[in-house]
Amino acid sequence: MSARDLRPIVRIRLGVAVAVLGLLVPLAACDGDGDGSGGSTPPPTSPPAPATSAPPDAGAAGDALYFYPPVEGATLTYALGGMASGTSEVVVDSVTTGGDGDVVTITETVNSGGTPVTVERSFTTGPDGGLTVSAAAFAASAPGMEVTATGDDLTIPPISELEAGGTASGETFVEFSGAGFDGRSDVVYTISGRGFESVTVPAGTVEAYAVELDLQLENSTVGSVEGTMTYWFLPGFGMVRQDFDLGPITGTTELSESSEPVA
């Protein structure tokens, strides 16, 4: 299985539920057997403060939404908590700029008490500052898993549109196979902004923009799942924190180290 077979993925586990989702959640945190077992960590002790208006210097780093910093060679470490503990190590391999915007390609290695999972993924930040994520995000990045087909990509609107009350809704799907089975997840989603919030993670305290992703998933293996993913994006930099609550599947991702400044 090549890294590109899983591109761009997100991450999720919990036995068969590993087939429900994947990358948008730092959940590639499966153990070597893919059963999702593992230790848990307590939730963060410093929840984000209530939403505020954009900080005065928010424009200094630009208001574009990136998933990871658009800096070649940048390295980041995220701490995984909740249902499975571990780390996600990210290296920015390349940044290319074209008519569609900036394409940031990264290699990610997730360690969560078993065989590490390494994948390559790409994210596009458009000229308007919006962020596009492949539908392959809704497939698990566990050992032996392979994405075989996907629907339309998801696009998070730019901050200016979200601040004006704009939302994005849509439907997509992903098909996958592995460990002797085939599966499919059909996804209905709504994306909305929650404003700038003060977020404290191990790497520091920043004013980040909170984006909520409300999901309804129909999975061929585990049935219906509903829930919310919340991302805190530092404009011009990328994700500093993620929380997800998808029925029985919950967890967090927090930036703990970065070669690029986050403040």
> For the domain 3-257, what is the CATH code?
2.40.360.20
221: pLDDT confidence band, cut at 50, 70 and 90? confident
pLDDT above 70: percentage of residues in the chain: 75
172: pLDDT confidence band, cut at 50, 70 and 90? very high
Per-residue model confidence (pLDDT) at position 59: 34
DSSP calls for 172-189: EEEEEEETTEEEEEEEEE
Per-residue model confidence (pLDDT) at position 117: 85
115: pLDDT confidence band, cut at 50, 70 and 90? confident
Per-residue model confidence (pLDDT) at position 154: 93
Per-residue model confidence (pLDDT) at position 209: 98
Per-residue model confidence (pLDDT) at position 248: 79
- For the stretch 56-83, pLDDT in tens is 333 334 699 999 999 999 999 999 998 7
Are 183 and 176 contacting, i.e. CB atoms less than 8 angstroms apart?
yes
Domain assignments of the chain as residue spans, ordered by start: 3-257
H helices of 11-149, in order, are: none
Per-residue model confidence (pLDDT) at position 39: 33
- For the stretch 123-134, pLDDT in tens is 999 999 999 998
Per-residue model confidence (pLDDT) at position 223: 83
Per-residue model confidence (pLDDT) at position 163: 96
Per-residue model confidence (pLDDT) at position 138: 73
* DSSP symbol at 159: H
- Give CA–CA dist 215/195, Å, rounded: 20
Encode 184-220: b = buried (16+ Cβ within 10 Å), e = exposed: bbbbebebbbbebbbbbbebeebbbbbbbbbbebebe
**pTM, rounded to two decimals:** 0.78
Q: Is the pLDDT at 2 greater than 60, yes or no?
A: no
Which of 61-65, 199-203, 222-226 has the weakest average pLDDT?
61-65
Per-residue model confidence (pLDDT) at position 119: 85
Are 230 and 224 contacting, i.e. CB atoms less than 8 angstroms apart?
no
Q: What is the phi-psi region of residue 200: left when phi exceeds 0, alpha when psi lies from -120 to 50, beta otherwise?
A: beta
Per-residue model confidence (pLDDT) at position 141: 58
Q: Is the pLDDT at 94 greater than 90, yes or no?
A: yes
Per-residue model confidence (pLDDT) at position 190: 97
Peptide bond into 47 cis (omega under 30): no
Q: Is the pLDDT at 121 greater than 80, yes or no?
A: yes
Pairs from 100-105 (Cβ < 8 Å, separation ≥ 24): 100/124, 100/126, 100/127, 101/125, 101/126, 101/127, 102/64, 102/66, 102/70, 104/66, 104/67, 104/68, 104/69, 104/70
Per-residue model confidence (pLDDT) at position 103: 96
Per-residue model confidence (pLDDT) at position 142: 64
Higher pLDDT, 199 or 1: 199
Mean pLDDT, to the nearest integer, of 213-232?
Answer: 89
Per-residue model confidence (pLDDT) at position 102: 96
- The separation between the first and the last C-alpha atoms of the chain, rounded to the nearest angstrom, is 38
